[in-house]
Amino acid sequence: MTTRPMVRVLAASVLAASFSGTALAHEAGDFIARVGAVNVSPNASSEDVAGFGEFKINDNTQVGLNFTYLLTDNFGIELLAATPFTHKVSLDGVGEIAETKHLPPTLVAQYYFLDKNSKVRPYIGAGVNFTNFFGAKFTNDLEGALTDLNIKNSWGYAVQAGLDYKINDNWMVNGSIWYANIETDVKFKLGGAPVSIATKVNPTVYMLSVGYKF
Protein backbone atom coordinates (compact mmCIF):
# COMPACT_ATOMS: atom_id res chain seq x y z
CA MET A 1 0.00 0.00 0.00
CA THR A 2 2.87 2.39 0.70
CA THR A 3 5.11 1.30 -2.16
CA ARG A 4 3.03 2.66 -5.03
CA PRO A 5 2.83 6.26 -3.73
CA MET A 6 6.57 6.24 -3.07
CA VAL A 7 7.26 4.92 -6.58
CA ARG A 8 4.99 7.57 -8.04
CA VAL A 9 6.72 10.33 -6.10
CA LEU A 10 10.15 9.03 -7.13
CA ALA A 11 9.07 8.76 -10.76
CA ALA A 12 7.64 12.27 -10.67
CA SER A 13 10.85 13.59 -9.11
CA VAL A 14 13.01 11.95 -11.77
CA LEU A 15 10.76 13.30 -14.51
CA ALA A 16 10.86 16.81 -13.03
CA ALA A 17 14.63 16.69 -12.70
CA SER A 18 14.98 15.50 -16.27
CA PHE A 19 12.68 18.26 -17.48
CA SER A 20 14.42 20.99 -15.51
CA GLY A 21 17.75 19.88 -16.91
CA THR A 22 16.66 20.74 -20.43
CA ALA A 23 14.10 23.47 -19.84
CA LEU A 24 16.67 26.16 -19.13
CA ALA A 25 19.05 25.31 -21.94
CA HIS A 26 20.72 27.94 -24.12
CA GLU A 27 21.69 25.72 -27.03
CA ALA A 28 22.55 25.60 -30.71
CA GLY A 29 19.73 26.88 -32.90
CA ASP A 30 18.12 29.06 -30.23
CA PHE A 31 17.05 32.60 -31.15
CA ILE A 32 16.90 35.14 -28.31
CA ALA A 33 15.23 38.56 -28.47
CA ARG A 34 15.82 41.09 -25.68
CA VAL A 35 14.22 44.50 -25.05
CA GLY A 36 14.97 47.03 -22.34
CA ALA A 37 16.59 50.34 -21.44
CA VAL A 38 19.95 51.20 -23.00
CA ASN A 39 22.10 54.13 -21.93
CA VAL A 40 24.88 55.60 -24.07
CA SER A 41 27.45 57.45 -21.95
CA PRO A 42 30.09 59.14 -24.15
CA ASN A 43 33.74 59.35 -23.09
CA ALA A 44 34.16 62.32 -25.39
CA SER A 45 37.32 64.12 -26.44
CA SER A 46 38.15 66.35 -29.40
CA GLU A 47 40.57 68.82 -30.84
CA ASP A 48 40.35 72.34 -29.47
CA VAL A 49 37.30 74.22 -30.73
CA ALA A 50 38.14 77.88 -31.44
CA GLY A 51 39.88 78.31 -28.08
CA PHE A 52 36.92 77.01 -26.04
CA GLY A 53 38.41 73.58 -25.38
CA GLU A 54 36.96 70.18 -26.27
CA PHE A 55 33.42 69.17 -27.12
CA LYS A 56 31.39 67.81 -24.21
CA ILE A 57 28.60 65.34 -25.01
CA ASN A 58 25.86 64.29 -22.60
CA ASP A 59 24.47 60.79 -22.22
CA ASN A 60 21.06 59.54 -23.35
CA THR A 61 18.77 56.58 -22.64
CA GLN A 62 16.52 54.90 -25.18
CA VAL A 63 14.71 51.62 -25.83
CA GLY A 64 17.27 48.97 -26.74
CA LEU A 65 16.78 45.79 -28.73
CA ASN A 66 19.17 42.95 -29.35
CA PHE A 67 18.82 39.71 -31.24
CA THR A 68 21.03 36.67 -30.69
CA TYR A 69 21.34 33.46 -32.67
CA LEU A 70 23.29 30.59 -31.08
CA LEU A 71 25.44 28.81 -33.65
CA THR A 72 26.51 26.26 -31.02
CA ASP A 73 25.81 25.84 -27.30
CA ASN A 74 28.59 28.35 -26.58
CA PHE A 75 29.01 30.55 -29.67
CA GLY A 76 26.48 33.10 -30.89
CA ILE A 77 26.10 36.24 -32.98
CA GLU A 78 24.22 39.29 -31.75
CA LEU A 79 22.85 42.48 -33.32
CA LEU A 80 22.26 45.51 -31.09
CA ALA A 81 19.72 48.12 -32.18
CA ALA A 82 17.82 50.94 -30.47
CA THR A 83 15.50 53.86 -30.96
CA PRO A 84 17.46 56.98 -32.02
CA PHE A 85 19.69 58.59 -29.38
CA THR A 86 19.80 62.38 -28.99
CA HIS A 87 22.93 64.02 -27.58
CA LYS A 88 23.57 67.64 -26.63
CA VAL A 89 26.99 69.13 -27.37
CA SER A 90 28.47 71.91 -25.27
CA LEU A 91 31.64 73.98 -24.79
CA ASP A 92 33.17 75.44 -21.64
CA GLY A 93 32.19 79.09 -21.20
CA VAL A 94 29.51 78.84 -23.88
CA GLY A 95 27.19 76.04 -22.77
CA GLU A 96 25.10 73.99 -25.17
CA ILE A 97 25.76 74.81 -28.81
CA ALA A 98 24.39 71.84 -30.76
CA GLU A 99 22.58 68.54 -30.72
CA THR A 100 22.65 65.46 -32.89
CA LYS A 101 20.85 62.14 -33.23
CA HIS A 102 22.45 58.81 -33.99
CA LEU A 103 21.74 55.14 -34.51
CA PRO A 104 24.52 52.67 -33.55
CA PRO A 105 23.77 49.19 -34.97
CA THR A 106 26.44 46.82 -33.65
CA LEU A 107 27.18 43.23 -34.66
CA VAL A 108 29.28 40.99 -32.41
CA ALA A 109 30.41 37.39 -32.13
CA GLN A 110 29.85 35.99 -28.63
CA TYR A 111 31.15 33.26 -26.36
CA TYR A 112 28.83 31.93 -23.63
CA PHE A 113 30.46 30.45 -20.53
CA LEU A 114 29.24 27.49 -18.44
CA ASP A 115 27.03 24.59 -19.44
CA LYS A 116 24.01 25.17 -21.66
CA ASN A 117 21.69 24.14 -18.80
CA SER A 118 23.14 26.61 -16.29
CA LYS A 119 20.62 29.04 -14.86
CA VAL A 120 23.16 31.86 -15.27
CA ARG A 121 25.05 32.29 -18.58
CA PRO A 122 27.75 34.99 -18.62
CA TYR A 123 29.20 35.88 -22.02
CA ILE A 124 31.64 38.14 -23.81
CA GLY A 125 31.62 39.46 -27.36
CA ALA A 126 33.56 41.47 -29.93
CA GLY A 127 32.63 42.89 -33.29
CA VAL A 128 31.94 46.00 -35.35
CA ASN A 129 29.91 49.16 -34.76
CA PHE A 130 28.41 51.49 -37.38
CA THR A 131 27.19 54.85 -36.11
CA ASN A 132 24.88 56.89 -38.33
CA PHE A 133 24.73 60.54 -37.25
CA PHE A 134 21.76 62.58 -38.45
CA GLY A 135 19.68 65.61 -37.52
CA ALA A 136 22.72 67.58 -36.39
CA LYS A 137 21.95 71.25 -35.76
CA PHE A 138 23.23 74.24 -33.85
CA THR A 139 21.05 75.21 -30.90
CA ASN A 140 23.24 78.26 -30.21
CA ASP A 141 24.88 79.60 -33.37
CA LEU A 142 26.72 82.41 -31.55
CA GLU A 143 24.74 85.10 -33.34
CA GLY A 144 25.14 83.51 -36.75
CA ALA A 145 28.85 82.71 -36.48
CA LEU A 146 28.24 78.93 -36.60
CA THR A 147 26.63 77.41 -39.68
CA ASP A 148 26.48 74.26 -41.84
CA LEU A 149 26.95 71.60 -39.15
CA ASN A 150 27.69 68.10 -40.40
CA ILE A 151 28.92 65.01 -38.51
CA LYS A 152 30.58 62.17 -40.39
CA ASN A 153 29.33 58.58 -39.91
CA SER A 154 31.68 56.19 -38.13
CA TRP A 155 32.87 52.57 -38.33
CA GLY A 156 34.74 51.08 -35.38
CA TYR A 157 35.18 48.07 -33.12
CA ALA A 158 32.96 47.11 -30.19
CA VAL A 159 33.38 44.79 -27.21
CA GLN A 160 30.83 43.61 -24.67
CA ALA A 161 30.22 41.54 -21.56
CA GLY A 162 26.85 40.36 -20.34
CA LEU A 163 24.86 37.89 -18.32
CA ASP A 164 21.55 36.08 -18.82
CA TYR A 165 19.63 34.92 -15.75
CA LYS A 166 17.03 32.36 -16.80
CA ILE A 167 13.61 32.61 -15.17
CA ASN A 168 12.12 29.61 -16.98
CA ASP A 169 12.36 27.79 -20.30
CA ASN A 170 11.74 30.90 -22.39
CA TRP A 171 12.11 34.02 -20.25
CA MET A 172 15.24 35.62 -18.83
CA VAL A 173 16.58 38.90 -17.49
CA ASN A 174 19.80 40.33 -18.88
CA GLY A 175 22.44 42.88 -18.01
CA SER A 176 25.18 43.90 -20.44
CA ILE A 177 27.87 46.52 -20.91
CA TRP A 178 29.50 47.62 -24.17
CA TYR A 179 32.37 49.79 -25.28
CA ALA A 180 32.22 51.20 -28.81
CA ASN A 181 34.99 52.92 -30.75
CA ILE A 182 33.28 55.92 -32.40
CA GLU A 183 35.54 58.49 -34.06
CA THR A 184 34.20 61.18 -36.35
CA ASP A 185 34.87 64.57 -37.92
CA VAL A 186 32.58 67.41 -36.89
CA LYS A 187 32.45 69.90 -39.76
CA PHE A 188 30.94 73.38 -39.74
CA LYS A 189 31.64 76.97 -40.71
CA LEU A 190 32.87 79.52 -38.19
CA GLY A 191 32.42 83.05 -39.47
CA GLY A 192 32.15 81.59 -42.97
CA ALA A 193 35.45 79.70 -42.75
CA PRO A 194 35.30 75.86 -42.92
CA VAL A 195 36.35 74.00 -39.76
CA SER A 196 36.82 70.26 -39.14
CA ILE A 197 37.22 68.98 -35.58
CA ALA A 198 38.41 65.38 -35.04
CA THR A 199 36.19 63.99 -32.28
CA LYS A 200 36.12 60.77 -30.28
CA VAL A 201 32.78 59.77 -28.76
CA ASN A 202 33.83 56.27 -27.57
CA PRO A 203 30.81 55.58 -25.34
CA THR A 204 30.26 53.04 -22.62
CA VAL A 205 26.83 51.50 -23.22
CA TYR A 206 24.73 49.94 -20.45
CA MET A 207 21.65 47.80 -21.00
CA LEU A 208 19.10 46.15 -18.71
CA SER A 209 16.55 44.01 -20.49
CA VAL A 210 14.10 41.16 -20.51
CA GLY A 211 14.69 38.36 -23.02
CA TYR A 212 12.62 35.66 -24.67
CA LYS A 213 14.06 32.48 -26.22
CA PHE A 214 12.42 31.00 -29.32
Question: Would you place residue 9 in the very low, low, confident or very high pLDDT band (cuts 50, 70, 90)?
Answer: very low
Listed by start position, the domains of the chain span 3-213
Q: What is the pLDDT of residue 7?
A: 41
Q: What is the mean pLDDT of the chain?
A: 91
pLDDT at 10: 39
Indicate if the pLDDT at residue 76 is higher than 80: yes
Residue range 191-210: mean pLDDT, rounded: 97
Exposure string for 178-199, b = 16+ CB within 10 A, e = fewer: bebbbebebebeeeeeeeebeb
| pLDDT confidence tier of residue 23, bands split at 50, 70 and 90 | low
What is the assigned CATH class of domain 3-213? Answer: mainly beta
Q: Residues with Cβ < 8 Å from 65, sequence gap 6 or more?
A: 33, 34, 35, 80, 81, 82
For range 54-80, the mean pLDDT: 97
Q: What integer pLDDT is reported at residue 35 of this predicted model?
A: 98
